[in-house]
Structure 1
Amino acid sequence: MLRAINERTVLERIRRSGPVSRAQIARETGLSKPTVSQALSTLERTRLVREAGRTSGGKGPTALLYELNPAAGWVVGIDVGREYVRAAVADLTGKIVAQRRQAARARSARTLITTIGSVARAAVESAGIGWRRVTVAAVGSPGVFGSAGHPLLAHNLPGWTREGVLDEIRRELATSVVFENDVNLAALGERWRGLGRDVDDFVYFHVGTGVGLGIVMRGELYKGANGAAGEVAYLPLATADPHDKANRRRGALETAIGADGVLSAAKRAGLRGATTAAEVFEAARNGDQKARHAVALVAEGIALGIAAIVPVLDPALVILGGGIGRNADLLRESLERELRALSPFRPRIEVSSLGEEAELMGAVSLALEAAQDRLFSRVDAGRGVAV
C-alpha cells in the first residue's frame, strides 16, 4: 500500500510539473531518493513515464529528467449543449491533439447520444489513434449528477432526465466514462488553464440561456451532498415571485437574468424588435439607450445573485461566463455599482479567459484525473498485484 502511495505521489509530481529530476522529486515530495528511484523504476517499466533528457548548465554532473509518457493513454472531453456537441482529444500531458464540433439538433436523448458517439469518434480518428487506446471519456452537460443514476434538472435537453441515459452513453462510447455538470466543468477548466490556476477559492458564474455556479473551494470542486451545489438558478429574489410555478420550475434568478430575463428587461425598458439576448447586447453596444437600460437591469440582477453567494462561500474571485456573462464591457459598471450598494464583501470579478472553451477544457481535465486512476491498474500489474 505504501509503495503504491509513493508511486502515485511521484507520478502526480511529474504530471503537474515535469520534466523533473530524481533529486527535484525527492526534495519537493519529501520522499527519500531511494524511494523515488524505486517508484520511477516501476513507472518506467509500465511506460507511464519516460526519460526526457538531462539537466543543463551549473556545476557537477548532469541529472536525468523524467516526464509523463504522452502516449501511455488518451482521453476525450465531451461538452453536450443544447446547440452543439463538442469533443477534444488529449494525451496524458494534457496536450490537445484534436477537436470536433457538430450541431445538436436532437429531438430525443437517443439521437443526442448517437451524436455524442459520432463526434467523439471523429475527434479520435482525426488525432490518428484507435478508439481502443482511449482510457477515459468525460461527458459534461446541463443537469445535476448525483446518486439518482441519471441527470436531474436538465430541462433544455429532450429526454435527458429519463432512467438509463447514462448507461446508454457508456454503451455508445464503449470505454470508461465519467459525468459532470457543464458549469462545474467550466470551473475545472478555469482551475486548470484559466483565471483560477492560482486561486484556491473561486466561483464560475455562468449566465446564459440558463444560470449556474461552479464552486472551487480549497482547490477542489465542491458539489455538495447531492451534487446540487451551485444550482443558483433557484435562488429566490425579491424581484421575482418564488411561488410562481414558472419560477419554481426554472428558478427565480434564472428567470430574472437568463436569456428570457434579458428579453423581459428589454420589454420593460421599451426596446422593441429584439428577439434574442444577443440582439439586446448588440443594440446596447451600438449605443441604443433603451438597450443600455435593459442591460443595466440585467446587471443589477446579476449583482443580486453575487451578493447572495459571496457571504456564504467567500470566494476570492468570481469568474463570469456564458453568453450573457461574457459581456463585461456592458455589464461591469452597473453590476459593481449595485454590488457596492448590496454588500460589504466585494471579491474580484473577471470575465472567463477561456470563453466557450471553459467547459471543454474542464472535461479534458476531469478525464485526465480519472485516467490516472485507471492507469494505475497497469502499475499494480507491473508490481505483480492482482487487479
Structure 2
Amino acid sequence: MFADNAWEGALLDDPQTTLQPEPQLRGSNQSGMRAWNERLVLSILRRQGPMSKADIARVTGLSTQTAWVIIRALEKDGLLEKGKPQRGRVGQPSVPMSLAPDGALFLGLKIGRRSSELVLMDFVGKIRARRTLIYRWPTPGSVLEFAHGAIDAVVAEVAPDLRSRIAGLGVAMPFQLWQWSARIGAPATDLAGWETLDIRAELARAYPFPVFLQNDASSACGAELIFGDEVPAGDFLYFYVGYFIGGGIVLDGQLYTGRSGNAGAVGSMPVRGEDGRTVQLIERASISGLEELLEAAGRPAESLWETPAAWDVDAAILDRWIEAAGQGIADAALAAVALVDFDAVIIDGSMPADVRRRLVAVAAARMRSLNLSGVGEPLFAEGSLGPAARTLGAAAIPLSERFLVDRNGLLKPA
C-alpha cells in the first residue's frame, strides 16, 4: 500500500494489559479476507489505542500467525509503528503497535450556509492545516474557487514524500442547498447553480485522489463516532446545531445514512412552536433563529459565525433561545425514541462549550417533563467536537471508507 519498513519477530504480550472486548468485530482466518482483516486491526487500534501483536490477535479473534502477518504488512506499508518496549512480570518485553500519524493523510471540505472550511488531517486525527472562508451565502462559484485554492495551498505545504499518502477528499455539505435560498436570505439565482453542479465529480476531475460526498450533519455524527471522547455504546440519536439544526443516527455502532444518504434529518421533525402550533425543529433549534433574535433587537450577531467557540451575544436573548431550542430538541427526541429505542441523545453544535452544556441540560430536563409512558428515557450527553465536527467528519469520510470497518458501505468514490 505505501512505504516499506522493517519488521521484527513477534514478542510475547504483556500479561498486565487490560483490553476491552470487541464482540461485534471478529476477524477471519480464511483466504481472501486480508482487506477486511487489515481494516479490523486498524479499527481496533484506533478505538482502543496501542497494544501488542499478541493482544491484537486475541482481541480480533484471529490466529496469532494471521494477525502477525497482517501487522507486518501494515507496518511495512507505513500505517503502523512500534512503540517503546514495555516489560511485564515475566517473559520478553512487549512492543505496542500504534497508528502511524504519517500513515495516511485526508482532506476534508465542509460547505456551510455561512462558511466553508478545508482541513488536512493525519492518520491519528490531528489537524495539520486549515483554511476558512466566511460569506453571507454559498454560491457555487465562490465555494469552488475557495476549494481549489485551499486544496492546492494545503497540498503544497505537505512534504513531497508524503503527498502520495493523501488518501482522499471528503466533502460535507447540506443536501439540496438550492432549496434554502429563502431561509438564508439569498437570491434564488445565487444558489440555483447547486441543483446542477455535481461538486464531487467536479473536484474528482481535478485531483488524483478519490472524492466522497456526505450530508454535513451525518458527517458531524460520524466524526463523533470516530473521534468523540466518550461515545456511548449501542444506538444513539445525534443533533448538530448549526445555522440550521441537523442530525445523524448510529445503529449497532455504525453511522446509518439511509437510502438517500439523508437519514437523521431531524430539522424536519414536527415540534411545538412558541404559540403551541406545530412547526419544524429547524425553526426552534437553529442558530439562524438566534441570529434573527439578535438582529431584531439591534444587537450584533457576527460572533456567531466569526468566533463560534466564543460568542459575544446578549445574555437575555441567548437564554430565550436556549430554552426554545432545548424544548424543541426534547420534543423531537421523544418522537424519535418512540420509533427507535435509542440508548442516548448526543447534542453538539457550532457554539461555545458552555452554551452547549446549558442546551443539553435544558433538553434533558424538558424531556423528563414530557409524558414518557411506553418509552425509555435516553441518556443525554454533550458531543465533544463542537464547531470542528462537520469538517473533521468530512476528512473522516475517506478515512472510514478506505481504512476502517464499515458495515454500511454506502459511499462510492467518484
1:73 and 1:329 map into 2 onto residues whose CA distance is 34
DSSP-derived class of the 2:380 partner: strand
User: Aligned pair in 2 of structure 1 residues 265, 295: CA closer, same or farther (>3 Å)?
Assistant: farther
DSSP-derived class of the 1:20 partner: coil
Q: Does 2:294 correspond to 1:256?
A: no
Conserved 8 A contact 1:75-1:371: no
2:368 and 2:93 map into 1 onto residues whose CA distance is 57
**Residue aligning to 1:134:** 166
Deviates more, 1:186-195 or 1:44-53: 44-53
**Residue aligning to 1:143:** 175
Percent of matched pairs sharing the same residue: 27
Conserved 8 A contact 2:347-2:360: no
Of residues 35, 40, 58, the one that matches 2:71 is 40
Residues 223-280 of structure 1: CA deviation (Å, up to 9, x unaligned): 1222221112222345499xx9xx9xxx72213333454477789xxx8435759799
Number of aligned residues = 353
Return the letter of the residue paired with 1:81.
Answer: G
DSSP-derived class of the 1:54 partner: coil
Q: Does 2:52 correspond to 1:56?
A: no
**Residue aligning to 1:316:** 343
Q: Does 2:115 correspond to 1:77?
A: no
Conserved 8 A contact 1:259-1:276: no
Residues 28-69 of structure 1: CA deviation (Å, up to 9, x unaligned): 122222222332343344444344443324221224443344
Q: Does 2:254 correspond to 1:204?
A: no
**Residue aligning to 1:273:** 298
Deviates more, 1:362-371 or 1:325-334: 325-334
Of residues 217, 223, 230, the one that matches 1:183 is 217
Residues 157-214 of structure 1: CA deviation (Å, up to 9, x unaligned): 8333324332112224442111111111111222222255343322221233212111
Of residues 370, 395, 398, the one that matches 1:342 is 370
**Residue aligning to 1:304:** 331
1:370 and 1:239 map into 2 onto residues whose CA distance is 40
Structure 2's unaligned 5+ residue stretches are: 1-31, 185-189, 305-310, 405-414
1:264 and 1:97 map into 2 onto residues whose CA distance is 35
**Residue aligning to 1:119:** 150
Paired residues for 1:14-29 under 5 Å: 14-17=45-48, 19-29=50-60
User: Aligned pair in 2 of structure 1 residues 57, 153: CA closer, same or farther (>3 Å)?
Assistant: farther
Residues 279-306 of structure 1: CA deviation (Å, up to 9, x unaligned): 99933x2xx4x77456534433333222
- Tell me the CA shift for residue 356 of structure 1: 0.4
- Tell me the CA shift for residue 337 of structure 1: 4.5
Conserved 8 A contact 1:51-1:65: yes
User: Aligned pair in 2 of structure 1 residues 188, 152: CA closer, same or farther (>3 Å)?
Assistant: farther
Of residues 117, 120, 132, the one that matches 1:89 is 120
2:48 and 2:324 map into 1 onto residues whose CA distance is 45
User: Aligned pair in 2 of structure 1 residues 44, 153: CA closer, same or farther (>3 Å)?
Assistant: same
DSSP-derived class of the 1:282 partner: coil
Deviates more, 1:219-228 or 1:302-311: 302-311
DSSP-derived class of the 1:303 partner: helix
Q: Does 2:191 correspond to 1:164?
A: no
Paired residues for 1:231-246 under 5 Å: 231-237=265-271, 239=273
**Residue aligning to 1:103:** 134
Return the letter of the residue paired with 1:256.
Answer: R
- Tell me the CA shift for residue 96 of structure 1: 2.9
User: Aligned pair in 2 of structure 1 residues 128, 293: CA closer, same or farther (>3 Å)?
Assistant: same
Return the letter of the residue paired with 2:326.
Answer: A
Please report the TM-score for the alignment, with normalisation by the length of structure 1. Answer: 0.76
Return the letter of the residue paired with 1:273.
Answer: G
User: Aligned pair in 2 of structure 1 residues 112, 7: CA closer, same or farther (>3 Å)?
Assistant: closer
Structure showing the higher helix proportion among its residues: 1
Return the letter of the residue paired with 2:280.
Answer: A
Structure 1's unaligned 5+ residue stretches are: 145-150, 374-387
